[in-house]
Amino acid sequence: MIELSIGLHKNAIYPPGHPLLEGATQGIGRRLDSLLSERSTLSLGVARHQLIIEGVATDENNPVLRDLAQRLHRHHLGAVKFSKGVTAAEIEDVLATVAVDAGRRSQPLGLEGPDTLQRWEHVRLYPLTFEQLQLLDENPDTDSDEQEDKGEMRGDRSRSAQLWIGLARAALAAETTDERLDDAESADPVVVAKAIDEHKKDAAYDQVVVGYLLQIAEELKSKSGKEAAALQKRISRLVASLQPATLGRLLEMGGDFRQRKRFVADAAQGMAVDAVVELVQAAATSSGQNISHSLVRMLSKLAVHADEGAPLARGPADVALRDQVQQLIGEWDLDDPNPDGYRLALEKMARSAPQFHATDDAYPCEPERLLHMGLEIQVLGDPVWRSLEQLATRADVTPLLDLLDAAPTGWMQETLWRQVANQDRLYAQLEREPISLGVVQRLVTVMQASAIDPLLDALERADERTATSLLDILASLGAPVAPFLVRRLAGARWTLQRQLLVLMGKLGDSPAGFSAKEFVRHPDGMVRREAIRMMLRSPASRDAAIVTALADSDERIVRLAIAAAMTNCPSGAASLLMARADDSALSSDVRALGIRALSSRKSPETIAFLLKRTAGKKRLLRRQALASKSPEMLASLAGLALHWSSDASAAAVLTVAAQSSDPEIADAVARRGGSR
């Protein structure tokens, strides 16, 4: 199909005789030769956005196949059939004909006569000419004008309407003019069923009809509403009106045994009960299965009660019928439900005395196998629960988690995950030595907020390496963690308080009612430092954090405050920076950084402070001299050059410094006016 779509696209954009067209034709020819070596014909049904091949519809989201389906549909073509013996010349002519856009022809190909559609010996185009169908409103009191107005207000038809229209058009399509095509009542399911019954057995025709039946069954399984109810009523009446032989023929065309099972399962959820019974019998016949007459009578009786029974009995009868059908088709895996070996074993057991003692050669089924089987058939019973518990209590639960991850998405997978991913199992994993962080992460991903308390409990007793990993896992849970941290901070030991503050900083904004200010006087320096970090992140508490940190005895905290004060130094910090510039408890490089931060503060006190540290006593002839060189003196010079170069009182000092033969002094003032 992809080869054919690409070939059509090339014929649409390249002129005749182009080398690429010959390659496309040869590629399609090779594909067809390979396929037609095993069959006499290959038929492709055409829907609006997808193709139907042996009852299976292509993915309508595949851009290449969707383009091919749309191109054929715009030509009003319902099917294409290739026969054994097709030649390259025929393929080339068909591609050139279909590649011409329908809008550039006088009329689409499907409206042309047999001279156009049947001119190739081994390729056949089937028209789709029924243009007047619409999904009739199920309310007979609504006149046609109101229906048309509502249709215009809705715009494009719903998918339910499109599927019914497509099925009716496909069933009533003809190669020549047919009077039925002009009759709006042809939308009647009985008329459509009669057309399918009367049509000769043709693979191309059946492809399209089966494709729409499969799509409608899937649509009814999941959709509800007025239009879905109308579609259910019409398709159910259509199925009930088809002859058994016709219905069997269509189901036989509709793919393999697995495909038929899925179709009947979908139909059992969405179609009317009488149509479900018809489909079950036809599917059993086409699949080589046997249904007893008693079972058929029981299903028919349930259908009668579901349709015409007492009001209180209709609902339970409807549910019972559909459940029975689901169980029935779910156990159609064996041609004979009682094989010879099984039958002989049952007979032997019936004649033997019961044996209740355990034997040494009894080998119970592995829990992995039982759980896998339960997930495969979507049955949740005691064997599955027991197997789950056995696997969950093992030291390594990775195989169990892998089984659950690989299970089909749905109710059963969610139920089993809830049983496995709970606080008790997470506590058990966190108490193991060493902790399997991969398993913990997978459990936490499922548990989300319910995993926070166990993780915080484990954090209290974890070593530094494990604590770092646990903090990362907690951070991945996001904002919901913050309230749990607030409740634990006050009573936690110092090392844990620091970790919790680090984690809270990673989460972003502090939760309501929490303030890091209460920890800036903490006895532990690391706790104070994390609290200062949190306050510096908030514009509302930044200035207070800088002032508090500058007065701290921990040099790392002072350095943190100085770095923050480098831009927009607050007024309250200026006096502290001046005082700490002479504090011998700080290293000279920290004092120099403090002077640099202070120099950005525009005030008379600042420049006076800087000049005092840079200007020395005047020499002979009143020439300005510089103070002795030190890290603090160089930082003061740099501050004058960056922030006070235009001040007259600083000009003399900066001039002398610029002329200095000392490279460090000259470099400190080389970039005046904040050029760096």
- Give 309-320 as a 3 state SS string: CCHHHHHHHHHH
Summary mean pLDDT of the chain: 77
Whether 91 and 156 map to the same domain: the answer is no
Whether 177 and 87 map to the same domain: the answer is no
Question: Which pair of tokens denotes residue 415?
Answer: 């139920």
Confidence at residue 401, expressed as pLDDT on a 0 to 100 scale: 92
Say whether the peptide bond before residue 189 is cis (omega within 30 degrees of 0): no
Structural domain for 294, as ranges: 152-330
Q: With pLDDT > 70 as the criterion, what percentage of the chain qualifies? A: 76
Question: Which pair of tokens denotes residue 524?
Answer: 């532990």
Whether 161 and 242 map to the same domain: the answer is yes
Whether 71 and 119 map to the same domain: the answer is yes
CA 59, CA 211: separation in Å to the nearest integer?
12
Tell me the pairing of strands 123-127 and 51-53. unpaired
Question: Which pair of tokens denotes residue 556?
Answer: 């790392």
**How many independent structural domains does the chain possess?**
3
In a domain, 577, yes or no: no
- Give the residue carrying structure tokens 């459940």: 323
Confidence at residue 444, expressed as pLDDT on a 0 to 100 scale: 92
- Boundary residue ending a domain (127, 142, 172): 127
Give, to the nearest 10 degrees, the angle between helix 311-330 and helix 273-286.
20
| Interval 332-340 mean pLDDT | 54
- Using a 10 angstrom Cβ sphere, with 0-12 exposed, 13-18 middle and 19 or more buried, the burial of residue 312 is exposed
Whether 169 and 299 map to the same domain: the answer is yes
Q: With pLDDT > 90 as the criterion, what percentage of the chain qualifies? A: 4
* Confidence label for 192 from pLDDT (cuts 50, 70 and 90): confident
Range with the lowest mean pLDDT among 269-283, 456-470, 620-634?
269-283
Whether 175 and 281 map to the same domain: the answer is yes
Whether 236 and 102 map to the same domain: the answer is no
Whether 326 and 184 map to the same domain: the answer is yes
Whether 83 and 178 map to the same domain: the answer is no
Q: Highest-confidence range of 81-90, 127-136, 301-310, 517-526, by mean pLDDT?
A: 81-90
Confidence at residue 315, expressed as pLDDT on a 0 to 100 scale: 77
- Give 607-654 as a 3 state SS string: HHHHHHHHECCCCHHHCCCECCCCHHHHHHHHHHHHHCCCCHHHHHHH
Cα 226–227–231 angle (5° rounding)? 120
Q: Where are the alpha helices (DSSP H) in 448-493?
A: 452-461, 464-476, 482-489
- How far, CA to CA in Å, does 503 sit from each of 469, 474, 519? 12, 8, 15
- Give 530-548 as a 3 state SS string: HHHHHHHHCCCCHHHHHHH
Whether 250 and 193 map to the same domain: the answer is yes
- Using a 10 angstrom Cβ sphere, with 0-12 exposed, 13-18 middle and 19 or more buried, the burial of residue 501 is buried
DSSP assignment string, 248-277: HHHHHHS-SHHHHHHHHHHHHHHS-HHHHH
pTM check: above 0.75: no
In a domain, 552, yes or no: no
Whether 277 and 178 map to the same domain: the answer is yes
- Boundary residue ending a domain (330, 361, 390): 330
CA 130, CA 168: separation in Å to the nearest integer?
8
Whether 161 and 262 map to the same domain: the answer is yes
In a domain, 15, yes or no: yes
Residues near 635 by Cβ (< 8 Å), separated by ≥ 6? 591, 592, 593, 595, 596, 599
* Confidence label for 50 from pLDDT (cuts 50, 70 and 90): confident
CA 271, CA 280: separation in Å to the nearest integer?
12
In a domain, 365, yes or no: no
Confidence at residue 442, expressed as pLDDT on a 0 to 100 scale: 92
In a domain, 21, yes or no: yes
In a domain, 228, yes or no: yes
- Boundary residue ending a domain (92, 127, 162): 127
Range with the lowest mean pLDDT among 15-29, 111-125, 175-189, 270-284?
175-189
| Interval 325-351 mean pLDDT | 57
In a domain, 401, yes or no: no
Inform me whether the pLDDT recorded for 185 exceeds 50. Answer: no
b/e map 398-431, b = 16+ CB within 10 Å:
eebbebbeebeeeebbeebbeebbbeebbeebbe
In a domain, 132, yes or no: no
